Structures are given as C-alpha cells and as structure tokens.
Amino acid sequence: MSIPQEHDYIGLSEPLPSEKSSDKTTAAATPSSNVGRNGVFSLKETELRLGLPGSEAPERKGGIGIGIGIGVSLYGKDESDCVKSGAKRGFSDAINGAGKWGLSINGGSEVDLGKKGGLNGSSVKQEIQPVEERKNEAAANTAPASKAQVVGWPPIRSFRKNSLATNTPKKEDVGGKSGMGTGCLYVKVSMDGAPYLRKIDLKTYCSYTEISSALEKMFSCFTIGQCGQGLAAKEHISESHLMDLLHGSEYVLTYEDKDGDWMLVGDVPWE
C-alpha cells in the first residue's frame, strides 16, 4: 500500500504526509526538532545541500554526477564534528590504514571472522575513527591499499571458506598459488617409539636443515631419557652415540602426502 508521493527529489523539503501515528508522537517531541507543531515531519535536518562545510570529499574512482552531501558516520560528541562527505564509502577507504583493522591480513580464512560479535564490532569501530585521519591517508594513497580484508568480502559462506582452507591444494596442475595464505601450518610429528607426538609450525622454518635440527632437539629427550615423564628407554646411551643415531641412518624424516604415501623429506624444494 504505497502512498503516492509527489516530490521533487532534489529539492526535498516539503513535509511528508501526516499519518495517524504522527499525531501520537507529537506529544513526545524529540530533541532533533524534526516534528513540527501540526504533527507533520519536516526534513530540514536532511535537506540537500551543495557545498559542504569543512573538508573535501576524498578521491573517488571515476564517479559521475553531483557530489551531494549526506551525513557520514562519525563517533563524535560535538555535532559540528560530524563531517559531511559525499564520497561513496570507497573500498580503498575502507581498507586504508590496514594496520587499524583487527583482522588477520594473511587471508584469515581459518579464522572465522565475525562469528564473535566482538571482533566484528572492533573492526567497524576502527573504521569509524576520525575521518580526517582517514582522508589524509586517502589523499596520500593513490595506489590501491595492500591486501587487507574487509569483513564479509568476498561474499563467501563460512562453511565454504573453511572448506577452502583445509582443501589440500593440487600442486602445479592448477597453477600458481596454493590456496589461502594461512597464518600458520601445524603438522604432527611422530617418532617411532616415542610415547607422544609433537606439532610444529612449518611456517616458522626456512629450510629443511632448520626443521631437522629443531626436530632433533624436540625428540632428543626421548632417546637420552631426560624426559620429565621418564617414559623413555632406560638404556644408557652416550650422547655422541645418540647424535649418530639422529644424524645417521637410524632416523629419517618422512612425511605422508595427501595420497597417503610415505615420502622422504627433502626431495621437493622447500618453497
């Protein structure tokens, strides 16, 4: 049941048709003084104005038409601080100051963003910070900002995002990058005969030799028998013998690939 309204859109300032409800609400006049005496709303507050008070609108990419100024959100106490800008909320603006965002920059698909209301809230809060600061950056930044992420963009459901994250990427065949740049890559490491396994973050290492020595250190407690739990073998092995064990042929590093095959570590280039 839409009420036909004739109005000159650009010069919108005439009162909207009064309705029953407006009569009721006149009594409780709101501080914004939008309600006239006869119960009809006037829209002085939202009148179009060309020529904005204060700062310029930030750069826009190829926009056309008149920059009609509409109020922009600002967390400020004083009304005059509410800077009106006609810019569309540019994507580059939104991701400017990537450092302010509480989101992981490295393709946080493993982090289910925004599921926690707090996380969402904090990211939006940061976005709303003083517009002057943002606009200065916008003016300075002609190139598109770095790959920070905007909440909910691209519009992909969490279920799919999570599936992508754990999808084992097919290597060279599909070309190029293997899926998400995740923040860390934990893998399980087990040693034959050890009572429990360990997990290491592959991203913290730069080469096979690094991993090798780190694992040596990690598992040395089992062979020497210094483990707090005291579950390791009680044989008295000298340390040098032990190192021979680790370096030599007794222990080798292998991994199970996605096809389920056991592969020797070191064949594939580190990258």
Partner 1 sequence: MAYSFPEEVLEHVFSFLSSDRDRNAVSLVCKSWYDIERWCRRRIFVGNCYAVSPEMVIRRFPELRAVEMKGKPHFADFNLVPEGWGAYAYPWIAAMAEAYPFLEEIKLKRMVVTDDTLELISKSCKNFKLLVLTSCEGFTTDGLASIAANCRHLRELDLRESEVEELSGHWLSHFPDSCTSLVSLNISCLGSEVSFSILERLVARSPNLRTLRLNRAVPLERLANLIRRAPQLVELGTGAYSAEIRSDTFSNLADAFSACKQLKALSGFWDVVPSYLPAMYSVCSGITSLNLSYAAIPSTDLVKLISQCQNLQRLWVMDYIEDSGLDVLAASCKDLQELRVFPSDPFGAEPNVSLTEQGLVSVSEGCPKLESVLYFCRQMSNAALIAIAKNRPNFIRFRLCIIDPQAPDYLTLEPLDAGFGAIVEKCKELRRLSMTGLLTDRVFKYIGSHAKKLEMLSIAFAGDSDLGLHHVLSGCDSLRKLEIRDCPFGDKALLANAAKLETMRSLWMSSCSVSFGACKLLAQKMPRLNVEVIDERGPPDSRPESCSVERVYVYRTVASRQRLDMPDFVWTLDEDSSLRYS
Contact call for residues 41 and 68 (beta carbons, < 8 A): no
Residue with tokens 């580190």: 270
Applying CB under 8 A, the site for partner 1 has a residue count of 99
Nearer to partner 1, 6 or 235 (CB): 6
Q: Does 89 bind partner 1 (CB under 8 A)?
A: yes
Q: Does 100 bind partner 1 (CB under 8 A)?
A: no
Q: Does 114 bind partner 1 (CB under 8 A)?
A: yes
Contact call for residues 138 and 96 (beta carbons, < 8 A): yes
Given phi > 0 = left and psi -120 to 50 = alpha, else beta, which region is 104? beta
Give CA torsion, residues 79, 81, 87, 88, to 10 deg. -70
Nearer to partner 1, 121 or 248 (CB): 121
Non-local (6+) Cβ contacts of 179 within 8 A are: 164, 165, 167, 169
Q: Does 45 bind partner 1 (CB under 8 A)?
A: yes
Q: Does 168 bind partner 1 (CB under 8 A)?
A: yes
Q: Does 143 bind partner 1 (CB under 8 A)?
A: no
Stretch of residues binding partner 1 (CB under 8 A), selected from 31-39, 192-200, 214-222, 236-244:
31-39
Binding string, residues 47-86; x marks residues near partner 1 by CB under 8 A: -x-----------xxxxxxxxx-xxxxxxxxxx--x---x
Q: Does 11 bind partner 1 (CB under 8 A)?
A: no
Nearest approach in angstroms of CB 253 to partner 1 is 21
Q: Does 175 bind partner 1 (CB under 8 A)?
A: yes
- For residue 195 the two structure tokens come to 């009572």
- Of 51, 159, 235, 271, which one interacts with partner 1 (CB under 8 A)? 159
Q: Cα(252)–Cα(264) distance, rounded to whole angstroms?
A: 8
Q: Does 204 bind partner 1 (CB under 8 A)?
A: no
Radius of gyration for the chain, computed over Cα atoms and rounded to the nearest angstrom = 31
Q: Does 261 bind partner 1 (CB under 8 A)?
A: yes
Contact call for residues 108 and 181 (beta carbons, < 8 A): no
